[in-house]
Amino acid sequence: AQSVTQLDSHVSVSEGTPVLLRCNYSSSYSPSLFWYVQHPNKGLQLLLKYTSAATLVKGINGFEAEFKKSETSFHLTKPSAHMSDAAEYFCVVSDRNTGGFKTIFGAGTRLFVKA
């Protein structure tokens, strides 16, 4: 069965300090994994994706994530938080099945950035 767990519903950091948003998944196959960001009253924007190529994935706005199969994790990191990073972040896992794709969203992690 496919699932995705975002381990923190809220994360608070100070501006200029590192960001870590945690995501664990389970999948029967070789999944694709995504991180999306959502600012208030906006749609979802893709930050980065893992699609079975390099396990360390670099995305937009200085974010990166590492796919660790042994730990079934895909944590999102950024070396230095900026005020504009305050938003909701969703980890998404997707598997191909007979009908197309099965895509599961995590519950989301709200990131707060303090000045």
* Chain positions contacting other proteins, by CB under 8 A: 32, 34, 36, 41-46, 49, 51, 90, 94, 96, 99-101, 103, 105-108, 110
Residue (22 or 110) nearer to other proteins, CB: 110
Q: What is the smallest separation between the CB atom of 109 and other proteins, expressed in angstroms?
A: 11
Residue (45 or 84) nearer to other proteins, CB: 45
Q: What is the smallest separation between the CB atom of 51 and other proteins, expressed in angstroms?
A: 4
d(CA 18, CA 3): 27
Give the chain's count of helices (H) and strands (E). 0, 12
d(CA 2, CA 42): 27
Q: What is the smallest separation between the CB atom of 56 and other proteins, expressed in angstroms?
A: 17
Contacts of 54 (CB under 8 A, 6+ apart): none
